[in-house]
Structure 1
Amino acid sequence: MCWNCRGLGDPSTVHELCDLARINSPSILCVVETQIAKNRVEGLANTLGFDSAYGVGSSGRSGGLCIFWKNPMQLTLRNFSKYHIDMVVEEQGKDPWRLTVWYGEANRSLRYKTWDMMRYLKADSDLPWCCIGDFNEVLRREEQMGPNDREMAQINLFREVVDACQLCDIGYVGLDWTFERRIQGGEYCRVRLDRVLASAEWSEMFPLATLHHLHAVKSDHSPILLMNEMEAQNQRIVVGKPFRYEVMWERHEEFQSTLEAAWGPSGAGNVEELQAKLLSTAMALKGWGSSSFGAIRT
């Protein structure tokens, strides 16, 4: 799972991240734009339910990345920068593969530095490669909905580096965007900035891998959940206990605001969007209900 959390200095954001980790049970958690120091973000490993962590500190109140992981997975650091953390992943029954979490340069005029780093990393290893994160760019104009159209030249630079690195977008399940912000005039700018890019060799290792767009309250970015066979077995809300709506939740003073925040300000334009909103709202309510009421026996 990966999330641009927009800062982990706020305890309520850490609380939401704990809920996301508990509900979805990822073996590896990647967080970008932590906006806090390296030792502070790494110190959240136990709170979030992970055994190990490696972080890159922020520059003031911008940037910052961290990868958390659980035993028995073994992650070995290859290199890092303010744009990425590159790890070799070893897990039982699989050949080693490579995971890189990315936070693309926010300044458009400097974004080429992220693309140069991707090219450098491509030449550095032949392992099956998975890239996940917020790339701060789109691959097609259709991935930005609403005002503030992107320059085609910037899009083409991203497409060129993806091709040069022999990576493919693995697609997604859920809403068509991972970033949503209301702008002046009441319109919404919605963009697919967060994604997974993978090499053909990685996709052959994990042929059933799927990417799910989730929902979060404390950031204008959606968490993205990469699920393979193992993650599907561990994912408790999809596999195992079904979601149950509890009427007693309605008596809680925070219920209405939690429900509204989970559903989001926009409606569903089609059946696929409705399905995604129902799933993400169920996940948010499940986590809130667990933290507010504890376990409920049925």
Structure 2
Amino acid sequence: MDKEKSASQEIWSLGKELGLTSHLEDSEVERQIAHQVAVRNSEGRAGGIACVWNRDVFEASSKWDLPGAVVVNGIVKQGNIGCCIINVYAPARAGEKHRLWDAIGTIVVQNADMCVCVMGDFNVVRRREERAGNGETFNEAEARGFDDFICSNELEEIRIQGRKYTWFKPNGRCKSKLDRFLVNEEWLRVWEGSVACGLQRTLSDHLPIQLRTKCEDWGPTPFRFLNVWVSHPDFHDVVDDVWSKADVVGWKSFVVKEKLKMLKVKLKEWNKLTFGSIDHRIQSLKIEIQEMD
């Protein structure tokens, strides 16, 4: 708790410099902040990481840190939505990056049933055109490793509206896209309209970016049927197999409802094995089209 206490003091001190005020004593404000913050201290030249949340909106159930990231699991109270937030400040060395990608990948898989967002400074670009300027070299192996990490974990990048780069050298001659939001399929199901917005850059050499969602509780997410399934020769066999083998007893309406639930699970598995991640392929094609413009 000592590092949370120290971080809360720094956060409140910065808040007051920015003009924030409170009717509470400083010690009480810092105590409250300490219960809604997760931090990883700085190491050498690498800066620290802090996650801060509003307890009226988000209730954390667990939090921990690993080299290069802070992880917070919890519930968004509106809609009772399970979330896993991974705040990244990636190391500079390639080997350390790879270890971080592996660790994050394990966390993403373990929390696949939750809304997962991996965000922050990844200290690497995905493509050559994400880096520009004198003296800025493109490391193809690092970029490929980072892109493989994103694709293999079926993460989708939320594009930053109106901004191409997020990091700038003080002289403005070099710039790169190092910061981004990566989310899983469940996140996009719940917050389909998520957008990333670049804010005004002031003293920092990084552009602040904000992930915006529209959180409304519309009940359970509806099952999405893809028309392309019907054209596949195995589709009717998959449906017949589930429907004939489902052992459900009860009222007819109840039996139909339970069989549909089983069919939904089976079709999702069959879709992934047969067609791969269609959403990921669509998003990748959209990115390629945008880059052609």
Aligned residue in 2 for 1:116: 102
Aligned residue in 1 for 2:55: 71
User: 1:208, CA displacement in angstroms?
Assistant: 1.6
Aligned residue in 1 for 2:133: 146
User: 1:51, CA displacement in angstroms?
Assistant: 6.4
| Maintained 8 Å contact 2:193/2:213 | yes
User: Could you say if the C-alpha distance between residues 45 and 151 of structure 1 is closer, same or farther in structure 2, counting changes exceeding 3 Å?
Assistant: farther
Show the 5 A alignment for 1:179-218.
179-182=167-170, 188-218=173-203
Give yes or no for the alignment of 1:134 onto 2:121.
yes
| Maintained 8 Å contact 1:174/1:214 | no
**Paired letter, 1:56:** R
**Paired letter, 2:143:** I
Q: Distance in 2 between matches of 1:159 and 1:108?
A: 14
Q: Distance in 2 between matches of 1:179 and 1:114?
A: 21
- Give the TM-score taking structure 1 as reference length: 0.58
Q: Per-residue displacement from partner, 1:112-151 (whole Å, max 9, x unpaired)?
A: 1221222222332222211111001111111112231211
Aligned residue in 1 for 2:213: 228
Q: Distance in 2 between matches of 1:207 and 1:217?
A: 31
Q: Distance in 1 between matches of 2:45 and 2:107?
A: 27
Q: Per-residue displacement from partner, 1:71-98 (whole Å, max 9, x unpaired)?
A: 2221222432131111223122142121
Instruction: Determine which of 35, 47, 53 is the counterpart of 2:37.
Output: 53
Show the 5 A alignment for 1:15-26.
18=18
User: Could you say if the C-alpha distance between residues 18 and 116 of structure 1 is closer, same or farther in structure 2, counting changes exceeding 3 Å?
Assistant: farther
User: Could you say if the C-alpha distance between residues 18 and 100 of structure 1 is closer, same or farther in structure 2, counting changes exceeding 3 Å?
Assistant: farther
**Paired letter, 2:49:** L
User: 1:52, CA displacement in angstroms?
Assistant: 1.5
Percent identity between matched residues is 22
Show the 5 A alignment for 1:254-293.
none
Give yes or no for the alignment of 1:165 onto 2:135.
no
User: Could you say if the C-alpha distance between residues 45 and 172 of structure 1 is closer, same or farther in structure 2, counting changes exceeding 3 Å?
Assistant: farther
| Maintained 8 Å contact 2:68/2:88 | yes
The structure whose RCO (Cα within 8 Å, separation 6+) is larger is 1
Q: Distance in 2 between matches of 1:44 and 1:102?
A: 29
User: Could you say if the C-alpha distance between residues 170 and 154 of structure 1 is closer, same or farther in structure 2, counting changes exceeding 3 Å?
Assistant: same
User: 1:58, CA displacement in angstroms?
Assistant: 1.3
State the aligned residue count.
Answer: 199
Aligned residue in 2 for 1:274: none
Q: Per-residue displacement from partner, 1:43-75 (whole Å, max 9, x unpaired)?
A: 997599896211111124423111111122212
Aligned residue in 1 for 2:46: 62
Kindly indicate which of the two structures has a greater share of residues assigned to helix: 2
CA RMSD of aligned residues (A): 3.3
**Paired letter, 1:222:** L
Gaps of 5+ in 1: 1-7, 23-42, 232-298
Aligned residue in 2 for 1:14: 14
| Maintained 8 Å contact 2:92/2:123 | yes
Q: Distance in 2 between matches of 1:17 and 1:102?
A: 26
- Please identify the structure whose Cα radius of gyration is greater: 2
User: 1:109, CA displacement in angstroms?
Assistant: 4.5
Q: Distance in 2 between matches of 1:189 and 1:135?
A: 17
Give yes or no for the alignment of 1:82 onto 2:70.
no
Aligned residue in 2 for 1:107: 93
